[in-house]
Each structure stands twice: as C-alpha cells, then as structure tokens.
Amino acid sequence: MSLRDREAHFEFGANWRDYAKTIDQARIDLAIAGLEKLFPEGVAGKTVLDIGCGSGMHALAALLLGAASVLAIDLDENSVSTTRELLKRYAPDKKWDTKICSVFDTSSDATGTFEIVYSWGVLHHTGDMWQAIEKAAALVRPGGQFALAIYAKTPLDFAWKIEKRLYASSPAAIQWMFRQLFFAVLMAGRALRGKNPLAVFRDPLTRGMNLSHDVHDWLGGYPYETASAEELDSRITGLGFAELRSFRLPDAIGLLGTGCHEFVFERLVA
C-alpha cells in the first residue's frame, strides 16, 4: 500500500475532531498568536491556503486577523468536517471554503494560487515529504509567502518511525497502553530533574492541542519524515524562494521525540 493512500495514514482527523470539543477562546487566542509570530506584518487582506487544516484553528485565526479569504484543505474527511463546523460557528460571515483534497492533487490551475500558503506540521505526514513541499510551494503567488513546520531530524528517527507505524496499526487498547508508558517516561524525566512530575499533565496549549491529544498525535503520526533546518532552507530556496524568517530547533537526540523547525519563505518575483 502506498503511503500516499488515505488508508495508510494515522487517523489524524478523528483526533482533531475529538480535540475540537475543547476549543475555547484561550485556544483561539493562542492560534492567533502563532500566526502573528510567523507573519508579523499581518495577513489582513490576503488570500490564504491552509494545507492540512486539522481542527480549523489556524484557518479561523487567519480569518479573525482579516484574511480576505481562506481555503482549508485536508486529506482526512474528519478534519474537513471539523474545520467546517468551527468556521461556521466562529466566522459565519467571513469568506472561506473547505475541501477534501490531498496536497498531491493540487495544482495552480485546479486549486489556484495564494498570497499565503500555510502548512503547519503536515507535509512530513504525507508519505512523500519533499514532493509534498514542492506541490505546496507551487501554489504560492510571486511575492507571496510559504509557511511550514517540519519535524527536526534526530538520530532516533528510525526508532520513532517503527513506533508510529506500530501504534497507528494497533487497536485502541494497545494505543492506550503506549500513551500511559509515554506519560510515565515524561513524569520520570521531570522527577529526575527535580521537578514536579504531575506538572506534565498541566495543559500547555502547545501545537494547537492539549497534552492528551498531542501525545496521541505524536505517537501515532505515521507516515513520518524529518529534515534538518539546513535541508529545508536549501531545498525550498532552490524552488525560487528566499527565507524571510525561521524558528529553528537546536540539535537533539530525540529520545522523547522532536519538535518542528518553522520557516516562512517568500516566492521571488521573476
């Protein structure tokens, strides 16, 4: 089975749908702050494409920041329906649309081009990360911006790929046991550093999720690929872009996982 097939992927959308029940103004404010970090010049009046829309939080944030229009797409029908419901609730009078669509099925002719193309923590789960990045980049208008977040490469990537494939294919009871073991390791790590181990369960509001949904997403996030910050910069600037800003992670072993390098590129005008 090709990793591009819907059936080969972890059920990201079901996790986002469940998480969406917890969305409140604090989480929306955090999503807005995340976009403001990436786009300090603002998104007001710009057309936005959100690739891999998840819960729809960042599509909503773009609309609340004044985006002219937002198209939110995702391979997973649960993510698309969750996004649609969120935007109906919080942005009923804004200009937006949702579509079940793989990044591999997009093109400038079929999908259009946009002043901002945004894909946070998505393209490394497609089964062909570099081609997915190329497809997404092709949808950016000249002078437009391409924002993405990609998992940082670590020496333990191979182990996490095995774990994620096993977790994603396991029944719910086995997944629950995986999560309890992971929580135990997190708590032990805090205890060894002289910190309160129970503090790990405080809601950190990171990555657009609470801790329980975030851990489920991390442990099950298959397909899984990574890249170094240098690889991302080199490959994307080679597509006719210039780096505007980045938030790069330091090198790490990856014992408890990895975070994402965040980049914003500008498409050069020929």
pLDDT number for residue 208: 56
CATH assignment, 6-153+224-267: 3.40.50.150
pLDDT number for residue 9: 84
pLDDT number for residue 204: 52
pLDDT number for residue 202: 66
pLDDT number for residue 132: 98
pLDDT number for residue 5: 73
pLDDT number for residue 190: 79
pTM of the model: 0.93
pLDDT number for residue 8: 73
- All residue ranges of the chain with pLDDT < 70 are 1-2, 201-209
pLDDT number for residue 203: 52
pLDDT number for residue 2: 65
Domain ranges of the chain: 6-153+224-267, 157-220
SS3 per residue for the chain: CCCCCHHHCCCHHHHHHHHHHHCCHHHHHHHHHHHHHHCCCCCCCCEEEEECCCCCHHHHHHHHCCCCEEEEEECCHHHHHHHHHHHHHHCCCCCEEEEECCHHHCCHHHHCCEEEEEEECCHHHCCCHHHHHHHHHCCEEEEEEEEEEEEECCCCHHHHHHHHHHHHCCCHHHHHHHHHHHHHHHHHHHHHCCCCHHHHHCCCCECCECHHHHHHHHHHCCCCCCECHHHHHHHHHCCCEEEEEEECCCCCCCCCCCCEEEEEEEECCC
